[in-house]
Structure 1
Amino acid sequence: MDSLEKEIYKKGYRYIVGVDEAGRGPIAGPLVISSVVFNYNQKPFVYADSKKLSPKERERLYIEIIENALDYNIVIVENEKIDSLGVSSALKEGIYEALKNLYIKPDYAILDFINIDLDFDSISIPKADEVSHTVAAASILAKVTRDRIMEDYSKVYPNFSFNKHKGYPTKQHYKEIQMYGITPIHRKSYRLF
């Protein structure tokens, strides 16, 4: 999985940042964007995208990523911003923030199929988290952060199973909306009924 990074390092780049998000598809809760920079000689230890791992594996890797990253940043874009800007613009704004808030200035970015203008070199490829350990790491930070937020929301809104469906448009979630109405964390610009 580290061949993409190896090829980029061979071209003379030193600080590769991987960027990924969690929460583009849900109808409730935030969008979470993460950026991760590893040292150029970091031995890959993330080999699967976050959705293919168990919650326990993700939690373990979350700690390992933070301990091993040269730098990382996590940005939370709330549902109100998604409603006002639209999910694509909110995502792009979140990516800019996740990159701007890094202490280390990256010279190359690997993005998971998002077209965005950056002032340094980048590549945007589909399923980047399956070919880049840096993007896979960013994917885990974003997913674990978002899952924790949604688990907290299930305590704030006990009528909603946010700890289970995580705000995604499931049958159970639509049933809860029909029974209890919408909460302040629902994305009003999405189809909610």
Structure 2
Amino acid sequence: MQKTKKSSPTLTEEMALFEQGYCFIAGLDEAGRGCLAGPVVAAAVILPLESNPTPVLARFTGVNDSKQLNEATRERLYDVIMEHALAVGVGIGSVELIDQRNILQATLQSMRVALTQLTPTAQALLLDAVRLRDIPLPQLSLTKGDSRCLSIAAASIIAKVTRDRLMHQLHEEFPRYGFKQHKGYGTPEHLEALKQFGVTPHHRRSFSPIREMLFGLFPDTAF
């Protein structure tokens, strides 16, 4: 049986807004929302648009939902996006912010920060399944937007690569936890390291199973 070819993100939504007079359209996405450790990272990307989208699509060939790409491809495309995008912004929601305000609010706050870093500033937003209701700009929230919309896909790559690099740094500080391999997700290896070595300052205390560990299931391992 012939495999169905996966579709690539398009500029359909960007061009619809471009034709309405919006020139600077930011795609936004995040990385690390479901992790047990490390920050959540959001990125905002404005791609160059013109009346004929074909050259723009060609310039960003291969850009897709970061989850569909291997690490080497993400790193290569990160450089392409940084070189050819009109503007790129990154916001980081710390573990402390996540525990204080919850992961959704930390994600939205990191997106707001990413937007403040854009020059030129965004005139409209394309987001992956969320909205920034306090931002007075036209917004379109798309289910699976990172696999449908090129601007959001580009943002997903910037957010993922940025966060992975941060987790590599944490690996150097706490090598026993394997952050370089699992990036803070709750893999069996990560959970076993938590049981053996305890909870670091970079673990999200509001997340299960970290919360349970700190509240007595493994009282001798938390520090």
Letter in 1 for 2:181: K
Task: Name the structure 2 match of 1:43.
Answer: 56
Give secondary structure in 2 for the equivalent of 1:124: strand
The DSSP-based 3-state class of the residue aligned with 1:43 is helix
What amino acid sits opposite 2:64 in the alignment?
A
Q: Using the TM superposition, give the Cα deviation of residue 131 of structure 1 relative to its aligned residue in structure 2, in angstroms.
A: 1.3
Whole-angstrom distance in 2 between the partners of 1:62 and 1:32? 15
In structure 1, how many angstroms separate the alpha carbons of the residues matched to 2:121 and 2:110?
A: 17
User: Superposition pairs for residues 59-78 of structure 1, below 5 Å?
Assistant: 59-78=75-94
In structure 2, the residue matched to 1:97 is: 113
| 2:151 corresponds to | 134
Q: TM-score, normalised by structure 1?
A: 0.96
Query: What percent identity do the matched residue pairs reach?
Result: 36
Contact 1:29 1:185 in 2 (8 A): yes
**C-alpha distance after superposition, 1:87-121 (max 9, x if no partner):** 11111111111112222121110000012212110
Whole-angstrom CA distance in 2 between matches of 1:143 and 1:9: 27
Which whole-Å CA distance do the structure 1 matches of 2:137 and 2:191 have between them?
43
**What is the CA-CA distance between 1:84 and the residue it aligns to?**
0.7
Question: What is the Cα deviation at residue 161 of structure 1?
Answer: 0.5
2:89 is paired with a residue whose SS is strand
Asked if 1:13 corresponds to 2:55, the answer is no
Match of 2:188 among 171, 175, 183: 171
Contact 2:131–2:139 (8 Å) recurs in 1: no
CA shift for structure 1 position 78: 1.1
Pair 1:24-2:33 in alignment:
yes
Contact 2:48–2:56 under 8 Å retained in 1: no
| C-alpha distance in 2 between matches for 1:160 and 1:169 | 11
Q: Which amino acid aligns with 1:183?
A: T
SS at match of 2:166: helix
CA–CA separation in structure 1 for the residues paired with 2:98 and 2:164: 18
Matched, 1:190 2:203: no
Instruction: Return the index of the structure with the highest Cα Rg.
Output: 2
- What CA RMSD, in Å, does the superposition of the two structures yield over aligned residues? 1.2
Query: Which one of the candidate residues 53, 56, 76 is aligned to 2:69?
Result: 53
Q: Deviations over 1:166-191 (max 9, x none)?
A: 10011111100000001110001111
Counterpart residue type for residue 173 of structure 1? H
Contact 1:21 1:139 (C-alpha < 8 Å) held by counterparts = yes
Return the offset for 1:82: 0.5
* Matching residue within 130, 141, 146 for 1:114: 130
Higher relative contact order (CA 8 A, sep 6+): 1
**SS in structure 2 of the partner of residue 74 of structure 1:** strand
Q: CA deviation at 1:4?
A: 1.9
